[in-house]
Chain A
Amino acid sequence: EDKVVQSPLSLVVHEGDTVTLNCSYEVTNFRSLLWYKQEKKAPTFLFMLTSSGIEKKSGRLSSILDKKELSSILNITATQTGDSAIYLCAVGMYSGGGADGLTFGKGTHLIIQP
């Protein structure tokens, strides 16, 4: 069974700290790994990582894919209270049918205290 595991499940830090969120996967026919941020409503897209793009950065956020270790990390530096959210990791896979839904982990609930 395809599996995506995130750790920690929850994390409380102070504003200004740096955090690292982890995601590991065991899936057949890996294609891509995606990170989403979910506040009160819909998940919003952060990064997509594939074999041809294993490192992405946007402002204070960055992510790396380790295909050998079947894992990814999401780093947030100089955290702000607005970074408080659930961070979701998801994996896309190849399939014979061609179109797949993403398989999500259970998320990391990040709380940034002022």
Chain B
Amino acid sequence: DTAVSQTPKYLVTQMGNDKSIKCEQNLGHDTMYWYKQDSKKFLKIMFSYNNKELIINETVPNRFSPKSPDKAHLNLHINSLELGDSAVYFCASSRRKRGLSGEDTQYFGPGTRLTVL
């Protein structure tokens, strides 16, 4: 059974387009995240969502907007794509609860390789 799934796995698009990446977790976790991994394999947090509330936005351009219809889903929408957005985007989830101690262990999805031409 897939714990954290993402679609699509590959996304090739032109500059200026708008695209979305979907993420779902079936682990019953409270918090979901989006990370960006650049060409040098450096993994950096973009957003985290806890109970439908955005907790972190790490200086990410406002062209990126996470949308969470429910606790099990966190989608990433990107407007006006730029060349520098090309990267692998990973979704993750954890049991971490807002204001309480909870496990930090995060489980990652398979990644979406975005290529902007």
Q: Are A42 and B55 in contact (CB under 8 A)?
A: no
Cβ B103 vs Cβ A86 within 8 A: no
Q: Which of B35, B41, B50, B100 contacts A107 (CB 8 A)?
A: B41
| B45 partner, pick from A38, A98, A103, beta carbons under 8 A | A103
Partner of A102, one of B42, B55, B100, B106: B106
Question: How many residues of chain B get a CB closer than 8 Å to chain A's CBs?
Answer: 33
For chain A, give the interface size range.
20 to 34
Question: Chain A residues near B62 (CB, 8 Å)?
Answer: none
Give, as a whole number of angstroms, the nearest-CB distance from A21 to chain B.
15
User: How many A-B contacts at CB < 8 Å in the complex?
Assistant: 76
Are A101 and B104 within 8 A (Cβ)? no
Q: How far is the CA of A7 from the CA of B58 in the complex (A)?
A: 25
- Contact check, A45 vs B43: say whether CB atoms are below 8 A apart: no
Would you give the 0/1 interface string for A85-114, flagging 1 where the beta carbon is closer than 8 Å to chain B?
A: 010101010000111111110110100000
Give A34-68 as 1s and 0s: 1 = Cβ < 8 Å from B's Cβ atoms.
10101001111100100000000000000000000
- Inter-chain contact A42/B108, CB cutoff 8 Å: yes
A48 touches B103 (CB 8 A): yes
Task: Point out the residues of chain B lying under 8 angstroms from A109, CB to CB.
Answer: 41
B22 within 8 Å of A (CB atoms): no
Taking a contact as CB atoms under 8 Å apart, the answer to whether A97 and B104 are in contact is no
With A99-B55, A99-B96, A99-B98 already in contact, the answer to whether A104 and B50 are too (CB < 8 A) is: no
A sample of 11 inter-chain contacts (CB < 8 A) reads A44-B108, A45-B105, A45-B106, A99-B55, A99-B96, A100-B45, A100-B96, A101-B45, A102-B45, A102-B106, A106-B41
